[in-house]
Amino acid sequence: MAEHIRIAIAGHGNLGRGVEAAIGKNPDMRLVGIYTRRAPDQLTPLEAGTPVFGMDALPTHTDRIDVLILCGGSKEDLPRQGPELAALFNTVDSFDTHARIPEYFAAVDAPARANRKTALVSTGWDPGVFSINRVISEALLPDGVTYTFWGDGLSQGHSDALRRVPGVAGAVQYTRPIQEAMDRVRSASRPTLSTREKHRRECFVVLQEGADAEQVRNAIVSMPHYFDEYDTEVNFISADELARDHQAMTHGGFVIRSGNTSPTNAQVIEYSLKLGSNPEFTASVLVTYARAVHRMHMAEQYGAKTVFDVPPAMLSPKTAEELRAEYL
Amino acid sequence: MAEHIRIAIAGHGNLGRGVEAAIGKNPDMRLVGIYTRRAPDQLTPLEAGTPVFGMDALPTHTDRIDVLILCGGSKEDLPRQGPELAALFNTVDSFDTHARIPEYFAAVDAPARANRKTALVSTGWDPGVFSINRVISEALLPDGVTYTFWGDGLSQGHSDALRRVPGVAGAVQYTRPIQEAMDRVRSASRPTLSTREKHRRECFVVLQEGADAEQVRNAIVSMPHYFDEYDTEVNFISADELARDHQAMTHGGFVIRSGNTSPTNAQVIEYSLKLGSNPEFTASVLVTYARAVHRMHMAEQYGAKTVFDVPPAMLSPKTAEELRAEYL
């Protein structure tokens, strides 16, 4: 086997821990360091031997790392870290604030190009493998419509919104796709679906001492953008129930395109994920794209990249000959 | 809009007609000619103005065509045409004899390279988009198992096998995936499935005058490789019923990978196609890849290529900026 790809992790929350686990599943990679903003000795790596450093050690470690996987959040961490670290390292990240991706891409592209680095931004599952499927299925069936459904799964953004409602002590929110809408989409009838017809929202809420349940419910179901356009179910539970029954980080979704290749013939392409752990799957995608980033860098393809720039062969540890013989 | 990509079609069976229809759905392309082995004036193109030529005109038309789509069969036509025409044109084909793909790739690669042409071989849905999904999902979930199910759909190879049985006047065969097996795969239990457990085969047979039904049935269900390892149902019908009820060219299938990202967390990736017309969908894939071949050729990426070499962005008519803004 060729030399290992030396991977490092910047940030050690759920996503960083998922990346640690994923590297262990890829024998062509080696985890050479975890970089954290906490005190390094407070962090317990999955494998006892993995070196842990403070984030400030990164600029002195540029020759030890082939690809740095950025595991910070899209709100606070990545807008600053992404451009900074792309000047020093080849990077991969999961920046997922959809509306700001073009701006973020540009901010990462300039330092990466200037320093002959390769930086793949906004991968994971959505944005990420769902995005690939939207692009490819639309290219295959130009006369058609694409639908994305999310869930069943816990939405972090909507759970956060619940927790900001006065009177709420704790909460989670599940996004559920509506079966009838999916069936209509799969029938290739190209339905026009309202927001309410595609997903419903199910909330499990722990009230603060003395809070009024009806008042909290009304505040939730009428919350603009987050809940008002959906059928939202609010269930009140105890703190113990929240801790016991609502810790799983399952998620998933569906990208479905239907289109016609002739007036009489409809075609349906469907891609779906059923994820036992949202952060661990996202982490696996980041690690797979780290392999591609390393190869693109070796091929002198510098600057910011997205999943749209990566040929499938670059994601696989197998050779082109193996892929042609075994997977076509 | 930039200049059109000038596409031509070599061979005008079901697949060639599907390519004609698909080009009409892609405004960045123009169909500049259909090349046939029949008398050109015997062929009626979909659009009245499309020029039709004999196959022997091709060598004199090299400067008129950006990409030639080869619509011949894998058994007789492509093994000869693929290498010959890749010396003269950028080409795309659907060569699908899985076991011979490495050999075919090599036979096309040499003339394409020598003449600075780009030749994408073996695209369609399987080999093709199914192959991409096998490679990507295995890369994302290295600790897992991939399953492919085909159907419901009419299998040309198995229908041909039926027609070779003595006493058979006409026949079609449908491949049906077995629901229980798919459910087990989707549960992420990684079952070991025998050939018989994954698919069943349903035959509709017209007997020749005086043929013995039981003898024909036995010859079918015991036919090595094609039927003996499956539960095969044989239905005898009239020639009229065959003509009336069994002309649709529907097909489809499923690529499902389940894997673990940690001992407790399983993940399932599923890609499926439900095709109203198998040849029209295959044709749409060929046309989409013709766009990529044109771009790879412009970028001086010569030689034989496969779907594994093509980044998603190359398949889409949209710009990189549009894709980042609208699809991530």
B102 and B236 fall within a common domain: no
A175 and A272 fall within a common domain: yes
A154 and A169 fall within a common domain: yes
Closest to A95 in 3D by CA, of A307, A301, A323, A309: A307
Say yes or no for a CB contact (<8 Å) between A25 and B307.
no
For chain B, the distance separating the N- and C-terminal CA atoms, rounded to the nearest angstrom, is 24
Cβ(B78)–Cβ(B95) below 8 Å: yes
Give the C-alpha separation, B59 to A14, whole Å: 60
A174 and A207 fall within a common domain: yes
Distances in whole angstroms, Cα of residue B66 to Cα of each of A135, B79, B92, B293, B297: 23, 22, 11, 9, 9
Mean pLDDT across B169-188: 97
pLDDT above 70 coverage of chain B, percent: 99
Task: Give the pLDDT band (50/70/90) at residue B283.
Answer: very high
Query: What residues in B contact A328, CB-CB < 8 Å?
Result: 98, 101, 122, 127, 131, 306-307
A189 and A236 fall within a common domain: yes
Give the C-alpha separation, B213 to B55, whole Å: 44
- Provide the pairing of β-strand A251-262 with A144-150: antiparallel
Close Cβ partners of B215 (under 8 Å, ≥ 6 residues apart): B167
Cβ(B81)–Cβ(B107) below 8 Å: no
Token readout for B74 is 């894998």
Å between B273 CA and nearest CA of chain A: 5
Query: What residues in B contact A185, CB-CB < 8 Å?
Result: none
A84 and A144 fall within a common domain: no
Q: How many CB atoms lie within 10 A of CB B247?
A: 9
Residue type, A188: A
Which chain A residue has the Cα nearest residue B248?
A265
Burial class (CB in 10 A: 0-12, 13-18, 19+), A117: buried
Say yes or no for a CB contact (<8 Å) between B311 and A308.
yes
B192 and B75 fall within a common domain: no
Token readout for B19 is 């390519």
Which chain B residue has the Cα nearest residue A279?
B261
B210 and B223 fall within a common domain: yes
Say yes or no for a CB contact (<8 Å) between A21 and B315.
no
B113 and B135 fall within a common domain: no
What CATH number is given to the structural domain containing A186? 3.30.360.10
Round the average pLDDT of chain B to a whole number and report it. 96
Give the C-alpha separation, B261 to B169, whole Å: 53
Round the average pLDDT of chain A to a whole number and report it. 96
Which of B136, B189, B261 to mutate to test binding with chain A, by most A CBs within 10 Å of its CB?
Answer: B261
Cβ(B29)–Cβ(B7) below 8 Å: yes
Select from A265, A308, A310 the Cβ nearest to the Cβ of B276.
A265
Give the C-alpha separation, A71 to A93, whole Å: 7
Close Cβ partners of B319 (under 8 Å, ≥ 6 residues apart): none
Residue type, A229: E
Select from B136, B141, B327 the Cβ nearest to the Cβ of A312.
B136
Closest to A316 in 3D by CA, of B139, B82, B108, B246: B139
**Where does a domain end: B235, B260, B276?**
B276
Distances in whole angstroms, Cα of residue B46 to Cα of each of A153, B18, B22, B34: 47, 10, 11, 11
Query: What residues in A contact B309, CB-CB < 8 Å?
Result: 311, 313, 320
Query: What residues in B contact A281, CB-CB < 8 Å?
Result: 140, 261, 267
Q: Is the pLDDT of residue B2 over 80?
A: no
| Greater pLDDT, B276 or B2 | B276
Q: Is the pLDDT of residue B1 over 50?
A: no
Q: What is the pLDDT of residues A266-277, one digit of tens each?
A: 999 999 999 999
Query: What residues in B contact A307, CB-CB < 8 Å?
Result: 312, 328
Mean pLDDT across B184-202: 97
Closest to A9 in 3D by CA, of A188, A1, A24: A24
pLDDT of residue B198: 98
Which chain B residue has the Cα nearest residue A123?
B328
Distances in whole angstroms, Cα of residue B139 to Cα of each of A91, A288, B94, B142: 19, 6, 24, 6
Cβ(A128)–Cβ(A285) below 8 Å: yes
Burial class (CB in 10 A: 0-12, 13-18, 19+), A11: buried
Say yes or no for a CB contact (<8 Å) between A139 and B320.
no
Give Cα A260 to chain centroid, integer Å.
31
What CATH number is given to the structural domain containing B74? 3.40.50.720
- Provide the pairing of β-strand B5-10 with B29-36: parallel
Query: What residues in A contact B256, CB-CB < 8 Å?
Result: none
Closest to B5 in 3D by CA, of B103, B89, B113, B112: B89
Q: What is the pLDDT of residues B115-144, one digit of tens each?
A: 999 999 999 999 999 999 999 999 999 999
Q: Is the pLDDT of residue A2 over 80?
A: no
Q: What is the pLDDT of residues A147-156, one digit of tens each?
A: 999 999 999 8
Which chain A residue has the Cα nearest residue B98?
A328
B148 and B225 fall within a common domain: yes
Q: How many CB atoms lie within 10 A of CB A161?
A: 19
Select from B142, B264, B280 the Cβ nearest to the Cβ of A265.
B280
Mean pLDDT across B216-241: 96
Q: Is the pLDDT of residue A1 over 60?
A: no
Give the 3-state DSSP-derived string for chain B, with helices as H, strands as E and coil as C. CCCCEEEEEECCCHHHHHHHHHHCCCCCEEEEEEEECCCHHHCCCCCCCCCEEEHHHHHHCCCCCCEEEECCCCCCCHHHHHHHHHCCCCEECCCCCHHHHHHHHHHHHHHHHHCCCEEECCCCECCEHHHHHHHHHHHHCCCEEEEEEECCEECHHHHHHHHCCCCEEEEEEEEEECHHHHHHHHCCCCCCCCHHHHEEEEEEEEECCCCCHHHHHHHHHCCCCCCCCCEEEEEECCHHHHHHHCCCCCEEEEEEEEEEEECCEEEEEEEEEEECCHHHHHHHHHHHHHHHHHHHHHCCCCEEECHHHCCHHHHCCCCHHHHHHHHC
For chain A, the distance separating the N- and C-terminal CA atoms, rounded to the nearest angstrom, is 24
Å between B39 CA and nearest CA of chain A: 26
Query: What residues in B contact A306, CB-CB < 8 Å?
Result: 323-324, 328
Which chain A residue has the Cα nearest residue B133?
A312
Give the C-alpha separation, A276 to A297, whole Å: 33
Query: What residues in B contact A324, CB-CB < 8 Å?
Result: 101-102, 105, 306, 308
Say yes or no for a CB contact (<8 Å) between A269 and B273.
yes
Task: Give the pLDDT band (50/70/90) at residue B302.
Answer: very high
B118 and B46 fall within a common domain: yes
Select from B132, B142, B321 the Cβ nearest to the Cβ of A312.
B132
B269 and B293 fall within a common domain: no
Say yes or no for a CB contact (<8 Å) between B320 and A308.
yes
Q: Is the pLDDT of residue B149 over 70?
A: yes
In whole angstroms, how large is the CA radius of gyration of chain B?
A: 22
Select from B127, B139, B328 the Cβ nearest to the Cβ of A288.
B139
Q: What is the pLDDT of residues A77-93, one digit of tens each?
A: 999 999 999 999 999 99
Domain that holds residue A251: 131-276
Please state the domain count of chain B.
2
pLDDT above 90 coverage of chain B, percent: 96
pLDDT of residue B245: 95
Size of interface A-B (CB pairs under 8 A): 207
Q: What is the pLDDT of residues A16-68, one digit of tens each?
A: 999 999 999 999 999 999 999 999 999 999 998 999 999 999 999 999 999 99
Query: What residues in A contact B313, CB-CB < 8 Å?
Result: 135, 308-309
Give the C-alpha separation, B119 to B105, whole Å: 9
Which of B19, B98, B262 to mutate to test binding with chain A, by most A CBs within 10 Å of its CB?
Answer: B262
pLDDT of residue B312: 98
